[in-house]
């Protein structure tokens, strides 16, 4: 399988220098396979939507993988895919199913459980290696994590078979990763990334259409499992959306648009060998208009995350709104629809939505800090005070 066939015109492949460090190709790292044939890991990059930004640039230096989930960055056994020279990528060119190849490397066959994504530093040679362009604003450097030299750590869980290729897509969620620091005009990069193994070009893909009236760049379409978004995107200017790659399974499709109620399609199947079509251009999704109410608050520590959830009658619980947290003050805020969400079962015929009136304006705000979580139940129509979350 070649991902290059999926890359849109205008995305130029980088020249990649591939190297294996630590364990090398002889299986010498932790969990190495000794004399068995090596396999190949091939990496590509895609993006979820970015909220309120015209461009989000990251400069990728290398990707490191290891078979030991607890291995330190100085341990032996690391295998590297090196991007040479380091490649600056606008993540917002990689939405709606667009991928760009990062490279591949031969490495010992086995199961890899840890990944480090190493970004180039903002320095005098490239002061805006990692930067953001806010909508209507100018390009601004992003402050990267303090542990950047060793790389951004991700849990992996990818099997590399001997003599075969394991394709992996890094899904970089720009919306959740770019955090504004109060009114300073500065931004932090707080990377939210997942690694998705891809087994086929034909499937692992969901397509559909929203109405042109909400194809404005502020509408988000996501596939969720038990309230956790697995893949998200923004529709293009025509209203078409493509969610790819998506692990096989059954999901809820959630459409969130400014000034509209949340629209949900239940029981969307995703297969490995065929794409799933939600609807046609003649039957586009257009959630009813509604008013919205602001939800605000503070969370400590400011490194915590906050989101708004809504539970449909009889389930499930869905993430409706991500509430960005100021990395200095811990302040967060957003807008929640007053109106009732509309829900339709997935089917091959035109979708038929019905309002879930019993949950109109009812939400749970969830704050997470490490493994700890706190929640507050709220009603959008009578929000009068801010929320406070404090973690020990």
Q: pLDDT tens across 73-106, in order?
A: 889 999 999 888 889 999 988 888 889 999 999 9
Residue 57: both structure tokens together:
């640039």
H/E segment holding residue 176: helix 174-177
Count of CA atoms in the C-beta half-sphere (13 A) of 42? 13
Q: According to the model, what pLDDT value does residue 97 have?
A: 85
Alpha-carbon distance of 251 to 224, in angstroms, equals 6
CB 122 within 8 A of CB 140: no
Q: Using an 8 Å Cβ cutoff, are 367 and 298 in contact?
A: no
Per-residue pLDDT, 50: 60
Q: For residue 223, what are the CA distances in angstroms to 157, 207, 230, 338, 372?
A: 21, 11, 6, 22, 25
Question: What is the torsion angle, in degrees rounded to the nearest 10, for the CA atoms of residue 239, residue 244, residue 250 and residue 251?
Answer: -50
Contact 362, 379 (CB under 8 A): yes
Domains and CATH numbers, the chain: 3-198 (no CATH), 206-283 (2.60.40.1120), 292-339+359-390 (2.60.40)
When computed from its CA atoms, the radius of gyration of the chain, rounded to whole angstroms, is 21
pTM beyond cutoff 0.85:
no
pLDDT in tens, 208-262: 999 999 998 789 999 999 999 999 998 999 999 999 999 999 999 999 999 999 9
Residue 152: partners with Cβ closer than 8 Å, 6 or more residues away: 116, 117, 118, 119, 145, 191, 193
Provide CB contacts within 8 A for 7, sequence distance 6+: 13, 98, 99, 100, 101
Quote the CA–CA distance of 86 and 357 in Å, as a whole number.
52
**Cα 70 to the center of its chain, rounded Å:** 24
Maximal C-alpha separation, the chain: 67
For residue 300, the model assigns a pLDDT of 96
Exposure string of 152-172, with b = 16+ CB inside 10 Å and e = fewer, is: bbbebebebeeeeebbbbbbb
Distance of CA 268 to CAs 205, 208, 278, 353, Å?
11, 12, 8, 15
CA distance linking residue 143 with residue 187, whole number of Å: 6
Q: Exposure pattern of 65-75 as b/e (b: 16+ CB <10 Å)?
A: bbbbeebeeee
| Spatial separation of the C-alpha atoms in residues 217 and 233, rounded to whole Å | 10
Indicate the SS3 state at residue 67.
coil
Instruction: Provide DSSP, 316-374.
Output: -EEEEEEE-B-TTT-EEEEEEE-SPPEEEE--SSPP--EE-GGGTTEEEEEEEETTEEE
- Classify 271 as helix, strand or coil: coil
Q: What is the pLDDT along the chain (392 residues), one digit of tens a residue?
A: 333 333 333 332 333 333 334 443 333 333 444 446 899 999 999 987 667 788 999 999 999 999 999 999 889 999 999 888 889 999 988 888 889 999 999 999 999 999 999 998 888 888 889 999 988 789 999 988 765 667 888 888 899 999 999 999 999 888 888 888 877 788 888 888 888 888 767 789 999 999 999 998 789 999 999 999 999 998 999 999 999 999 999 999 999 999 999 999 999 999 988 999 999 999 999 999 999 888 999 999 998 999 999 999 989 999 999 998 988 889 999 999 999 999 999 987 789 999 999 999 999 999 999 899 999 999 866 666 789 999 99
DSSP assignment, residue 185?
A: T
Q: Are 324 and 51 in contact (CB under 8 A)?
A: yes
């Amino acid at each position: 399988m070649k991902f290059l066939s999926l890359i849109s015109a205008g995305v130029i492949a980088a020249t990649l220098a591939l190297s294996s460090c630590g364990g090398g190709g002889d299986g010498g790292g932790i969990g190495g396979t000794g004399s068995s044939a090596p396999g190949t890991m091939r990496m590509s990059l895609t993006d979820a939507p970015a909220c309120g930004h015209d461009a989000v640039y990251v400069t990728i230096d290398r990707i490191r993988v290891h078979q030991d989930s607890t291995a330190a960055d100085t341990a032996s056994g690391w295998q590297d895919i090196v991007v040479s020279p380091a490649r600056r990528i606008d993540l917002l060119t990689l939405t709606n199913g667009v991928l760009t190849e990062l490279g591949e490397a031969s490495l010992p066959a086995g199961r890899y459980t840890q990944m480090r994504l190493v970004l180039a530093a903002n320095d005098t040679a490239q002061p805006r290696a990692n930067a953001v362009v806010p909508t209507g604003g100018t390009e601004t450097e992003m402050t990267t994590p303090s542990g950047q030299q060793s790389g951004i750590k991700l849990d992996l869980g990818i099997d590399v078979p001997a003599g075969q290729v394991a394709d992996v897509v890094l899904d970089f969620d720009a919306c959740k990763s770019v955090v504004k620091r109060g009114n300073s005009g500065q931004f932090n990069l707080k990377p939210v990334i997942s690694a998705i193994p891809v087994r086929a070009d034909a499937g692992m893909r969901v397509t559909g259409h929203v109405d042109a009236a909400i194809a404005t760049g502020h509408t988000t379409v996501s596939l969720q499992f038990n309230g956790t978004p697995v893949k998200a995107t923004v529709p293009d200017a025509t209203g078409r959306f493509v969610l790819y790659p998506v692990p096989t399974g059954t999901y809820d499709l959630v459409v969130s648009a400014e000034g509209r109620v949340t629209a949900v399609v239940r029981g969307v199947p995703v297969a490995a060998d065929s794409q799933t079509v939600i609807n046609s251009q003649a039957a586009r999704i257009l959630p009813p208009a509604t008013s919205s109410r602001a939800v605000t608050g503070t969370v400590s520590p400011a490194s915590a995350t906050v989101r708004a959830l809504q539970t449909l009658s009889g389930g499930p619980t869905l993430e409706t709104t991500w509430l960005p947290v100021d990395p200095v003050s811990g302040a967060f805020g957003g807008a929640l629809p007053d109106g009732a969400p509309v829900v339709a079962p997935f089917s091959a015929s035109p979708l038929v939505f019905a309002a879930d009136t019993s949950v109109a304006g009812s939400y749970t705000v969830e704050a997470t800090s490490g493994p700890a979580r706190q929640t507050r139940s709220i009603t959008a129509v009578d929000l009068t005070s801010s929320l406070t979350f404090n973690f020990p």
